[in-house]
Amino acid sequence: MLKDTLTRTRAARPLVHCITNFVTANDCANLLLACGASPIMADDPLEAAEITAACQALVLNLGTPSPRRLEAMLAAGREANRLGHPIVFDPVGVGSSGFRMEAASALLSELRLCIIRANAGEIHSLCCGAAGTRGVDTDAEASVAESRALARETDAVVVCTGETDIVTDGQTAFRVYGGHPMTRLITGAGCQTSALAGAFAAANPPLEAALGAACAMKRCAQIAHARLGPQEGSASLRSYLIDAVCLLRPQDLKDVRYDIL
């Protein structure tokens, strides 16, 4: 199944509109190109909806929020909903401030989301509906339960990334293994996963797109780490990760282990 996910995405060559954060925009753009998609980054409210209308998917990333960027996200999201295009939401640091929580609440209440990609602490914050939960400790079973609950509440597929990833539509749930701990030293690995999910969602059903993105990033992290020489560290890993996405073969996804929960 997953090898077809990658094949369909590359065949479709989707244009993906990312309203993302300025810390990771370049890496997300290059990763989209590497997977066979095309990126466009437009975060001004004056053009956000128009740009979205020309694209096949929309990725909204809360990493560096502002009132202006939130206005652009809502305008782009409404247009994507009108056209029936998938929206991926990445609520970066949502538990860190009241403004981020308010922005996330506005997006969740006004837009129909296709995929939510977040870490366990961010999912906990969304489930609790309150700021101040940054860095919260959540065990594996709590993460599964909260991911499922958020998926049912929002009618979106939830991808909870971490040491192992959880992918669920509220009913069916998968746990994805692999990756490498060193990716924690790279800013934006999660943002890139969200961008990849956007590309996959443009050409595949939501649950398959989300699972495919999680599996692809886990496998590419392993491939990237295996390339590192004795004098290479996180900067090299960052480049090798994009190389791995570019060179990923459909059959490579067979090497990723995942369980149905």
pLDDT tens column, 226-261: 999 999 999 999 999 999 999 999 888 888 888 898
State how far the Cα of 82 lies from the Cα of 61, in Å rounded to an integer: 20
Q: What percent of the chain has pLDDT over 90?
A: 80
So what's the pLDDT on residue 128? 82
pLDDT digits (tens, 9 = 90+) for 10-22: 999 999 999 999 9
Do residues 159 and 165 make contact, with C-beta atoms less than 8 angstroms apart?
Answer: yes
State pTM to two decimals.
Answer: 0.92
Alpha helices of 62-133 — where are they, by DSSP H?
Answer: 67-83, 98-110, 120-128
Please say if the pLDDT value at position 134 is more than 50: no
Backbone φ and ψ of 195, nearest 5°: -65, -45
